[in-house]
Structure 1
Amino acid sequence: MTVQQRRQRERENRRQLILTTARNLAEKSGWDSVTTRALADTIEYSQPVLYQHFRNKDAIVAAVAQQGFGELAEALHRGRTTTPGGLRGLIEAYVSFAAENPKLYEAMFVIPVDLDFGVEESPDELVAAFGEIIAALEPLGAPRDRIDTVAEVVWSACDGLVTLERSGRLRPAYHAERIELLTQQILATPK
């Protein structure tokens, strides 16, 4: 390994340490507790070292969110491929992911971040997560532009379930029934 390769690896490790620490601080105390000073103190680097990797806290939150979309894509894939029919498993995986990672989900969907959605420049992680929803819908046999639109509706519906359940606006005893009803409604969508 060359000196340059070693330095690059160390730089990537520092970057990941910053992101992991930011996520851990947020999960413990909320995103307001994630400041460059708190991160620097926790990881025992100076603030200028953080600024070598990220221009500000918003950039850190965006990078955490981007990684979160990669994790969401993996969860959706498992849910889609391990459940007969796929769509129900994908919806359950989405809702479970949000419940298990509340502050990460907040970074991904609540906090305004500098990530482009639905455009050619969208990060691979976002494309992969959206692609899992599309893959679950492809058996419907609709044209691709229709599948993309239905996928946006599925994503929106899942986010709505997460948001309303998290805020206590829905009856907990009917969680499974809501997921089943959403699945059936999507499967009944005209082509």
Structure 2
Amino acid sequence: MTIEDRRARERAARRQLIVSTARSLAEAEGWDAVTTRRLSQEIEYSQPVLYKHFQGMDQIAEAVAIDGFGELAEDIGTARAVGGDARDVLIRTAQAYLDFARRHPSVYDAMFTRATSLDFAADDTPPALQSAFNALRDAVAAVADDRDVDDLTEVLWATLHGLVALGRTGRIRPDRDRQRIVVLVDQMCR
């Protein structure tokens, strides 16, 4: 292994350490607790080292978000892989989305509620974002018939996001996910 290869590997490992530490702190204490000063203390590198990898906290949160989109795509893929009829697959897909948001609230915030420069539905959309949308889209396509699949997917996504937001703030009845998802999917299957 060349010195350049070793340095590149070490640089990638430091970058991942920064991202995973930011994620852990956010999950434990919320995003307000995640600062470059705190991160540098936690990973035992100086703040200038952080700035060699990221311009600031927004870019670190975006890296957490991108990882989250990849994980969401995997969770949806796992839910879809069980098989069954299109309606059941879409129900499991929607449930996987809600479950992900509950298990990883700070990651979900980085993905969907924090200000970000990540582009959605653009030529330069990161692959992980595309994968997450396409995982939803593939489940929707099976029930779309002659309707626009992207429109239906965006409606599903927006509705699921609304359920997450309303559930987090206690504005909808708890423990009714399954019933709400069934209503939503039955409307989409018409």
TM-score interval, smaller chain: over 0.9
Amino acid in the other structure paired with 2:164: V
Structure 2 residue aligned with 1:4: 4
Structure 2 residue aligned with 1:27: 27
TM-score by length of 2: 0.95
Which deviations, in whole Å up to 9, do the C-alpha atoms of 1:125-180 show, x marking residues without a partner? 0000000111102223545x810111111100110111111111111142211111
Unaligned runs of 5+ in 1: none
Q: Number of aligned pairs?
A: 187
1:68-79 paired onto structure 2 within 5 Å = 68-79=68-79
Question: Which residue among 116, 128, 132 is the counterpart of 2:131?
Answer: 128
Question: Which residue among 102, 105, 117 is the counterpart of 1:102?
Answer: 105
Which deviations, in whole Å up to 9, do the C-alpha atoms of 1:79-137 show, x marking residues without a partner? 12225231111000000000000110011111011100011110000000000111102
Unaligned runs of 5+ in 2: none
Amino acid in the other structure paired with 1:136: A
Structure 2 residue aligned with 1:17: 17
Amino acid in the other structure paired with 1:15: R
Amino acid in the other structure paired with 1:181: V
Q: In the alignment, is the contact (CA less than 8 A) between 2:144 and 2:188 conserved in 1? A: no
- RMSD of aligned residue pairs (Cα, Å): 1.2
Q: In the alignment, is the contact (CA less than 8 A) between 1:83 and 1:89 conserved in 2? A: no
TM-score by length of 1: 0.94
